[in-house]
Structure 1
Amino acid sequence: MLNYIDLFAGAGGLSEGFIKAGFTPVAHIEMDKNACLSLKTRISYHYLKSQDQLEIYYSYLRQNISQAELYSHVPSHLLKSAIQAEISDLSIKNLFDRIDNLLNGGKIDLIVGGPPCQAYSLVGRSKINSLGDQHVSTDIRYELYKQYGRFLQKYQPEYFVFENVLGLRSAEKGQLLLRIKKYFEKECGYKIDWRIVNAYEYGVLQLRKRIIIIGKRGLDPFEYPEFERVRRENSWNVKESLFSDLEPLSVGEEKHYSLYKDLPVNSYLQKHGIRSEVNFVTQHITRPHNSRDLAIYRLAIEKWEEGERLKYPDLPEELRTHRNLTSFLDRYKVVDPDGLCHTVVAHIARDGHYYIYPDKNQTRSLSVREAARIQSFPDDYFFEGGRGAAFKQIGNAVPPQLAFVIARKMKELLLEKPVNEFYLHPYTTSPAESVGAH
């Protein structure tokens, strides 16, 4: 069975797609405590699924058992594969030792992941620049690709997948991407190529552009893989495909355990495996809002229903909090119910102004579960750490559906043959998969 290491793993969106495609994770490395716990909880799900013991996991989702009790049913070496650590010069030897123990003499087929994107994003760079002219070049996050490269040097997988924001392309007027290319080729021995992908072309109901760098060991030219696009059915949209079977919410309401509406499962949820196998969903929770925000949200929805987007200067003077009428004019944004959502980012953890639910009967921002569905996370995916931590993890994640499409193609490259769509539990082996076993 083919395996991989996930660096800068977050809550595991990228990993979820690779597991669904039949890869086995050796290790996930993530510095955020809550995201690392989410990884352990998802590891518990996959292990218990492989053992036909999912009722234990569902008991946890129902809050009938504790996190400690859930983890007690999972082999310790699997839980230890989610490593909470910052990847740095100080930690890397210890990380190598821990991965070597998990590998037990085996080899790594693939490394995936992408360093935190804030330093590469346009907004992140403007904040860094405000700290001083030299800060961009010395900010440690700019150098994290080199830490990624040290794992390539150590484990020498056949391929790697490096995901990041579009700002990587323009950082330092394009020089940063050239330096990354040179580093991976000269220092690590990998030929690389990259493309911009938009998640909606691969089955995600969201406009989300990202750079995907693929590296192949050796310096011979290689053909960048063509990821298989998913045909979008006419009925697929945010309101009908993602929101229609979820219970309505009031402002600030928290339905940690919520039954689905009594409706047939729609084709989108069914095709992408988002609906849970049980009749309930968790973390359908939304934040409270003050009267001013709610008034603005109602105006934004009314504007949307008239076919327009609310701009900040459109607000009555009594609803404005500042005098800047020339920048960030779309700070209040309604999610398009009839099409695709705009990009979900980690800022959703701070406020919901950019993610307004598209219905005056539920004037509020998105719930955690609605945001997770927009990112294509399955309904049984649980995000640890509370509402704000969950929003942050969701906004930072690679959509699992996009990751799955990438993973299927990487599997073809590694096995050098086409693969059929299937789901294989990551902690079991079948004869069909023995080709990639070590």
Structure 2
Amino acid sequence: MPPRFQVIDLFAGPGGLAEGFTAFRDKKTRQPFHIAMSVEKEKSAHQTLMLRNFLRKFAGRFPVEYYRYLNNGGDEPDWISLYPEQWAAAEMETLQLELGTDHAKKIIRNRLADLKRGNRDNFILIGGPPCQAYSLVGRARNKGIKGYKAREDKRHFLYKEYIEILRTLRPIAFVMENVKGLLSAKVDGDSIFELVLSDLTSPNFKNEYELFPIFSGGGHRPTRSSDFVLRTEECGIPQARHRVIIIGVRRDIAKAVPARLRDRGLLQEKSQPVTVGEVLGGMPKLRSGLSRDDSSEAWISTLIDASHKIQTADLGLDPGTAASFQRVLDRCRSDWERRPSKLRRVSANMDVLEPDCPKILGQWLYDAKLTRLPNSDTRGHMASDLCRYLFAAIYAKVVGRSPKALDFPKSLAPNHFNWNSGKFADRFRVQLLNQPATTVTSHIAKDGHYFIHPDPAQCRSLTVREAARLQTFPDNYLFKGGRTEQYVQVGNAVPPFLALKLAEALHSILD
């Protein structure tokens, strides 16, 4: 039986949206959504996407060679020789193109014509244009660029490539995702968000799509910015990631949707927050590395030196909190001295899920066929930063929040001219065990300071796999490329478990 809906995935990244849509099963356990075409320009993300699209050809039962590769390492299998038919199909649907170029327009136009030749009116368009131009950090960075003109920055208008394909394809529904900064982004005084909505509902578009609110629309047509804001911590994602999600259904389909379904919103119920500890707590303990002359012995010596430096610093804590701080510091030091060879930099064994992890999310993340976790090696840090990581993680553990710049002892403060300016008050941020993580962004590829592991004994930033867990990528999802490229892919992605919920909600309308 052919799939009911063919999905076109634009600006696909490593495939977060596609993973959720293709994983959805209806009440009869059928897979209604099939990826017909994915488009991504970045090489390593395209490689990740290509591999995952290939694995989907096996209907959830991945080849034994894949698990052998993940568990044992070595060279990646020659998939072309082993499974030529499945690899060729994945190549056909996974395009490495830069949207907006004449070359991409030509290829996509021809590919869409081929897909539509069967005259099947069952297309879904998903994806979201790159967010760097809309994010608050990106806009602040652009202001510092001499001669920068927003009107000339093509990234502001990449959404028009999405709109153009929407007009050409006339899918029965679409999902457009972007950062919350889209709501406040402007070009020469014009609101980008208003431009997007205007394009979606313009006379040239024949007002063809009805937009649906994420949560209860209160009986009104969703045009307010708040109607399109989704807070992932309210959707069972272990991360406070706030995004703009615009979902439209073609009017000839939408008119059959009862009013009660329109008013209730696509996601009817908000979920209990899932914490960092619930998804990371059972993962193998690892040590960080040293950026120079790394070894287990050198790392322990560096951390013990750091503990003495912290112990003699003026922490500015009340006596009770200072005593708790000292107890945690002593436990860490004892652990390092007692078990110097126990902590590795790469996961050598599989984890166990925390019993408090919600069952559905745990089943989504965990794969019993894995004996070790992929993409789980730690990065190296400077000795001075390890000292700050140790202080910050212990402070967060005993105080209940990540320290701000003013909470750091002067002896641990970095030599930054703006350290006390207030602009970078949370330059070193610990992810708290009992709360959802802060937004995982591509910046994690830079230094990891904003993503310090909550366990002070490990004294490190998050691994790619831990960041992927917070983004709800299944543990068997392999990210290709170098570690920096892997971090960028994870940070830019849409959480797949969230995409699963969006697919379920959209299917409830289309069904």
For the aligned pair, the TM-score class normalised by the smaller chain equals 0.7 to 0.9
Does the CA contact (< 8 Å) of 1:6 and 1:112 recur in 2? yes
How many percent of aligned residue pairs carry the same amino acid?
Answer: 32
Larger Rg: 2
Aligned-partner Cα distance in 2 for 1:206–1:377:
13
For 1:18-417, list aligned pairs within 5 A.
18-21=21-24, 22=31, 23-50=33-60, 52-62=61-71, 66-67=75-76, 69-72=78-81, 73=83, 74-90=86-102, 91-101=104-114, 105=118, 106-131=120-145, 135-172=149-186, 175-186=191-202, 187-189=204-206, 190-191=208-209, 192=211, 193=222, 194-218=227-251, 223=262, 225-229=265-269, 231-232=271-272, 236-239=274-277, 241-252=278-289, 254-255=345-346, 258-261=348-351, 267-268=357-358, 270-272=360-362, 273-280=364-371, 281-304=373-396, 305-315=398-408, 316-317=410-411, 319-324=413-418, 325-326=420-421, 327-415=423-511
Moved more, 301-310 or 397-406: 301-310
How far does residue 401 in structure 1 lie from its aligned partner after superposition?
1.0
Structure 2: state its 5+ residue gaps.
Answer: 25-30, 212-221, 290-343
- Greater relative CO (CA pairs within 8 A, separation 6+): 1
CA distance in 1, matches of 2:55, 2:268: 28
Partners of 2:345 and 2:378 within 8 A in 1: yes
For residues 183 and 262 of structure 1, the distance between their equivalents in structure 2, rounded to whole angstroms, comes to 48
**Structure 2 residue identity aligned to 1:188:** F
Contact kept in structure 1, 2:452 and 2:460, CA below 8 Å = yes
The 8 Å contact of residues 112 and 169 in structure 2, kept in 1 or not, is answered as no
- Deviation per CA, 1:185-235, whole angstroms, max 9, x where unpaired? 2243444445111111111111111111112334989837421435338xx
SS of corresponding position for 1:213: strand
- Tell me the amino acid that sits aligned with residue 56 of structure 2: H
Structure 1 residue 339: deviation in Å? 1.8
Q: Separation in 1 of the partners of 2:55 and 2:399? A: 44
Amino acid at match of 1:250: R
Residue by residue, what CA displacement relative to the aligned partner does 1:69-115 show, whole Å, maximum 9, x if unpaired?
Answer: 13442240222211111001412121221344456534452101100
* Superposition deviation, residue 249 in structure 1: 0.6
Contact 2:70/2:370 (8 A) holds in 1:
no
| Alignment size in residue pairs | 410
User: 1:3 is aligned with what amino acid?
Assistant: Q
Name 1:434's counterpart in structure 2.
Answer: none
Q: TM-score, normalised by structure 1?
A: 0.86
Gaps of 5+ in 1: 416-438
